[in-house]
């Protein structure tokens, strides 16, 4: 499913199977989850996508061809392919363990073709074996919603009382991790979104409310997954002195002006950008121990536009997953 021009629906194309180059693998895609970032790519919110482009960066598939020099993963292994497709390895960020900020990165489904397809090519070093993950549909949302959620949680720090603004794919996975870790989850949804609120309750949230409401206690930290800048001052208001607000998205509407006192008392406002391979390895190691069960809605690959539309309209509960 190909994005030929910004803002246009994806178009089904038939192409010859791609051939992996040196250091690359090809996978037969079993499932690819749909992320809000895919909407930002399709809508042109992110600059300079490769065009034409196959979107999709939450890929689960079986390795079915190896490029020159690839020893692992082996043929037949199930792997996950995330957003970070390449990092240069030598810039100051790569050299200091922050390849998520690499000066010359490549991104799956943005600057390289992704997983809204029957087959996808990736660098072997940026694909992750998924041993112990039996269900490719359930594993797919872990590759971005899960990993980026995990990175956001690490940045949030030792927060015992954690607010999650926007209870979609990322938050509903992260809530399960938080409960397993013994944290209290305070879930903020679109006001009146009964389905999201019911899901938050079912996943053990201590408190559930609209994003315009204040929690009953001051929070230690909050993570914003909704791409809504107006939530930033609301979240700052909800965290205690010294608390941290983490913006987990790649794109957000403008943040409205707010009084300095909301930031004062050493509150911190930070953002998360991309992921490191370490984030993926760490998260994929704990995910089976948590026993994460993503709520998924499956669409056939040809219905990618419908899946994007349902994500855009907010009618989706959990994560959308495309299956070729």
CB of 4 to Zn ion, least distance (A): 21
In terms of CB distance, is 73 or 227 closer to Zn ion?
A: 227
Asked if 56 and 262 count as a contact pair (C-beta separation under 8 A), the reply is no
Strand partners, 271: 247
Asked if 123 and 278 count as a contact pair (C-beta separation under 8 A), the reply is no
CB of 57 to Zn ion, least distance (A): 6
Contacting residue, 35, 79, 159, 316, with Zn ion by CB under 5 A: 35
Contacting residue, 102, 139, 205, 307, with Zn ion by CB under 5 A: 102
In terms of CB distance, is 20 or 141 closer to Zn ion?
A: 141
Q: Which stretch binds Zn ion (CB under 5 A): 99-107, 119-127, 182-190, 282-290?
A: 99-107
CB of 83 to Zn ion, least distance (A): 5
Backbone angles phi, psi at 92, to 5 degrees: -60, -30
Can you tell me the distance from the alpha carbon of 292 to that of 130, in angstroms, rounded to the nearest whole number?
Answer: 14
Task: Tell whether residue 37 is a contact of Zn ion (CB under 5 A).
Answer: yes
In terms of CB distance, is 147 or 199 closer to Zn ion?
A: 147
Q: Which stretch binds Zn ion (CB under 5 A): 79-87, 107-115, 193-201, 216-224?
A: 79-87
In terms of CB distance, is 97 or 192 closer to Zn ion?
A: 97
CB of 265 to Zn ion, least distance (A): 33
Q: Which stretch binds Zn ion (CB under 5 A): 40-48, 97-105, 254-262, 297-305?
A: 97-105
Interface with Zn ion: number of residues (CB under 5 A): 8
In terms of CB distance, is 126 or 186 closer to Zn ion?
A: 126
Task: Tell whether residue 91 is a contact of Zn ion (CB under 5 A).
Answer: yes
CB of 151 to Zn ion, least distance (A): 11
Four-point Cα dihedral 301, 302, 304, 306, nearest 10: -130
CB of 216 to Zn ion, least distance (A): 32
Asked if 69 and 23 count as a contact pair (C-beta separation under 8 A), the reply is yes
Contacting residue, 54, 63, 70, 94, with Zn ion by CB under 5 A: 94
Task: Tell whether residue 39 is a contact of Zn ion (CB under 5 A).
Answer: no
Binding mask 117-156 for Zn ion (x = CB under 5 A): ---------------------------x------------
Which residues are near Zn ion by CB under 5 A? 35, 37, 87-88, 91, 94, 102, 144
């Amino acid at each position: 499913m190909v994005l030929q021009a910004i803002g246009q629906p994806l178009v089904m194309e038939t192409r010859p199977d791609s051939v992996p180059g040196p250091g690359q693998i090809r996978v037969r895609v079993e499932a690819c989850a749909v992320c809000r970032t895919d909407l930002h790519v399709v809508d042109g919110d992110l600059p300079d996508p490769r065009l034409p482009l196959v979107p999709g960066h939450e890929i689960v598939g079986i390795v079915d061809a190896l490029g020159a020099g690839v020893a692992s993963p082996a043929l037949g292994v199930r792997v996950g392919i995330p957003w970070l497709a390449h990092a240069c390895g030598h810039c100051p960020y790569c050299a200091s363990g922050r390849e998520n900020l690499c000066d010359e990165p490549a991104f799956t489904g943005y600057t390289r073709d992704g997983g809204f397809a029957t087959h996808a090519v990736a660098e072997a070093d940026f694909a992750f074996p998924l041993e112990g993950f039996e269900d490719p549909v359930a594993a797919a949302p872990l590759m971005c919603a899960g990993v980026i959620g995990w990175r956001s949680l690490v940045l949030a720090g030792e927060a015992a009382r954690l607010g999650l603004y926007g209870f979609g794919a990322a938050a509903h996975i992260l809530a399960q991790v938080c409960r397993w870790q013994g944290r209290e989850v305070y879930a903020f949804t679109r006001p009146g979104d009964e389905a999201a609120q019911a899901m938050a309750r079912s996943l053990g949230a201590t408190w559930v409310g609209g994003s315009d409401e204040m929690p009953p206690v001051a929070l230690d930290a909050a993570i914003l997954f909704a791409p809504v800048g107006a939530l930033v001052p609301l979240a700052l208001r909800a965290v205690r002195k010294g608390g941290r607000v983490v913006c987990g998205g790649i794109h957000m509407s403008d943040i409205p002006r707010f009084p300095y006192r909301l930031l004062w008392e050493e509150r911190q406002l930070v953002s998360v950008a991309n992921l490191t391979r370490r984030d993926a390895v760490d998260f994929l190691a704990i995910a089976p121990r948590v026993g994460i069960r993503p709520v998924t809605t499956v669409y056939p690959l040809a219905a990618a536009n419908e899946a994007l539309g349902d994500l855009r309209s907010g009618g989706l509960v959990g994560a959308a997953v495309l299956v070729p």
